[in-house]
Amino acid sequence: MMKSDSFNDLPELLASIHGPDDVKAISSSKLPQLAQEIRDVLISRLAVTGGHLGPNLGVVELSIALHRVFHSPTDKFTFDVSHQGYVHKMLTGRAKDIHTIRTYQGLNGFLLRSESEHDCYGAGHAGTAVSAALGMASARDLREEDSHVVAVAGDAAFTCGPTLEALNNIAETTKKFIVVLNDNEWSIDKNVGALAKHFNSLQTHPTYSSVRATAADFVEKLAGSGARKLAHKVERGAKNLILPNVLFEKFGLRYFGPIDGHDVELLTSTFQYLKEQDEPVILHIITEKGKGYKPALDNPGKFHGLGAYKIDDGSTQKATSPTYSEIFGRTLTDFAKEDKAITAITAAMPGGTKLDIFKEELPTHYFDVGIAEEHAALFACGHATQGLKPFLAIYSTFMQRAYDMIIHDIALQKLPVRLCMDRAGLSGDDGPTHHGLFDIGYLRHIPDLIHMQPKDEDEFVDMLWTMANYNEGPSAIRYPRGAGTGATPKAKPQKLTIGEAEVLSEGQDVCLIGLGHLFEMAEETKQQLEAQGYSVTLINPRWIKPLDATTILRYAQQAKVVCTFEDHVLMNGFGASIIELLHDNQLNRPVERIGWPDAFIEHGKVPKLREIHGLTTEEAVRKITAHL
């Protein structure tokens, strides 16, 4: 059951909203009050749970207007990424539970089909909203229904391949379709690229304010024959003065805007007009990410998504030791200062990967391609063919999008592209769309690719140095979110021998193989087993591929049971590779595995989820001693 507060804990208007019909029942004069109440609740609740504060503060009026005009769940809303769906959740009867967001068994931080009938499409990655919405509109047409489908996508989503692919098909697929371009200049970080510059020019163009005023006049005169003339006048003005290349008209969408995305009456009247159009339309709105909260306005990148914070100044608790991401950014920057062949590439996440450090100090060797992981991988291939040493830093969950490029373009050509997968393993509060639990499975079967994971920060730097000096083909490294053990890297990194594991202790009863940051759990398991009188081998494998087959077979042969530890799904994971190794060498030993089940893991704090799913020292000891 989902945890909940009483409605009495919510402000007056927000407490009265049990669903979209209640939004429609509120008088227009009270909508600014409702918007303020929503912002106040978001700021206060997310200060405790953390979450995507900035994006949601920016879509308050938009969300209200959508539910004033349309009829969810009959009418469908898709939100690109859906991290800005908190307000939609609040307006569809979930305001009482907003304090549970991103907590175990609480509201998910993204839209989730299983959570509510009003969440027609779940998401967590960018570029899906327009394509999915178009599919829904097509299905509606096939069923001869009369509902509306609205896709809400930020300007960053228009740098994403699937969005552009969907735009190419809209005019040939349906006649009744609304796209909302929510233009705020940001995705996770500041938007980049030609389209981003184009959208930004609309906000800064001297004619913008006059066009917006004209749009307001247009809405006020919707009734009667004058409405259509003025609509065309506004459209022509926007095209001729601000959109000289008529970008969206080339895709067959009639363009409206730009208009103020924080004027709820203007948005409502505009949607009322657009829903009557028998042609695909795009409404361009201008919003502020973080509106209503100065710390979020001053630092949109930080407040895109963050942990708990102090309401008065937006400050957050600083980590006691550097995160893996910070070590990556600092280390790669230092390497690149000495080796001019090194380049750093990311896909719209310089802050998350901490390549903003690299960007600041070595801007000519830094490349952010926007939300375009496939292009990022191919771009890195181009660098590699010309003798450069590209490091491609993308979260594990987003690297999935470049899967074909990793096989077809990187590995098949043996190009020395270095894949750096941040957030590998459980990503806790963000839930199943962001857990990095599949990269071992989707990489370990690829020929000519080496894959590694460090047990601590010191070994992490050694591995990055090894990658910088490995030019025989592609390499990959996975590392977790947050800080590690606090191990201080050596003054001078060491180049590791590829495929050579580290043996920390030798024993006759049990062979423990602890991969990456779960090596600590393997160490704890060793201590508990030794306290019971068992003799234990402890191995830090370092290499997912190639495995140190000689070492693993030697110690597995002398042990009565083998146990592996990995922050990854067990299906086709690291432990599975150990089972294959023993089987292929006719070594009959029981293998117990500690890892995640064949399921999409829910959101919640990492320790809690590990306990629920058996990723604990106690469970490892129980499984192992059953064989002794």
Give the residue numbers marked as catalytic.
289, 373, 401
Q: Measure the CA–CA gap between 426 and 437, rounded to whole angstroms.
A: 7
Q: Measure the CA–CA gap between 128 and 151, rounded to whole angstroms.
A: 9
Size of the chain, expressed as the number of residues it contains: 628
Q: How many CA atoms lie within 13 A of 378 on its CB side?
A: 8
Pair of tokens at residue 617:
């020292």
Reading across the β-sheet that carries 543-545, which strands appear in turn? Answer: 366-368, 342-346, 389-395, 418-422, 475-478, 450-452, 543-545
Q: Give the closest residue to 468 by CA, choosing from 489, 502, 494.
A: 494
Q: Measure the CA–CA gap between 248 and 161, rounded to whole angstroms.
A: 15
Reading across the β-sheet that carries 591-596, which strands appear in turn? Answer: 502-505, 536-540, 510-514, 561-569, 591-596
Show Cβ contacts of residue 252 under 8 Å, excluding neighbours closer than 6 positions. Answer: 170, 171, 172, 280
DSSP 289: T
Q: Measure the CA–CA gap between 193 and 182, rounded to whole angstroms.
A: 17
Question: What residues pair up with 596 in beta bridges, in sequence order?
Answer: 569
Label residue 425 left, alpha or beta by phi (over 0 means left) and psi (-120 to 50 means alpha): left
Q: Measure the CA–CA gap between 150 and 229, rounded to whole angstroms.
A: 25
Calculated CA dihedral for residues 74, 78, 79, 80, nearest 10 degrees: 180
Q: Measure the CA–CA gap between 364 and 34, rounded to whole angstroms.
A: 47
- What element of type H or E holds 154? strand 149-154
CB count within 10 Å of CB 115 equals 17
Q: Measure the CA–CA gap between 530 and 300, rounded to whole angstroms.
A: 51
Q: What residue has token string 């423990």?
A: 512
Label residue 594 left, alpha or beta by phi (over 0 means left) and psi (-120 to 50 means alpha): beta
Amino acid present at 441: G
DSSP 306: B
Q: What residue has token string 């077979």?
A: 553
Taking the chain, what is the end-to-end CA distance rounded to the nearest angstrom? Answer: 40
Q: Measure the CA–CA gap between 110 and 232, rounded to whole angstroms.
A: 37
Question: What residues pair up with 452 in beta bridges, in sequence order?
Answer: 477, 543
Amino acid present at 390: P
Largest separation between any pair of C-alpha atoms in the chain: 91
Amino acid present at 189: D
Amino acid present at 611: E
Q: Measure the CA–CA gap between 621 and 521, rounded to whole angstroms.
A: 11
Q: Measure the CA–CA gap between 555 and 553, rounded to whole angstroms.
A: 6
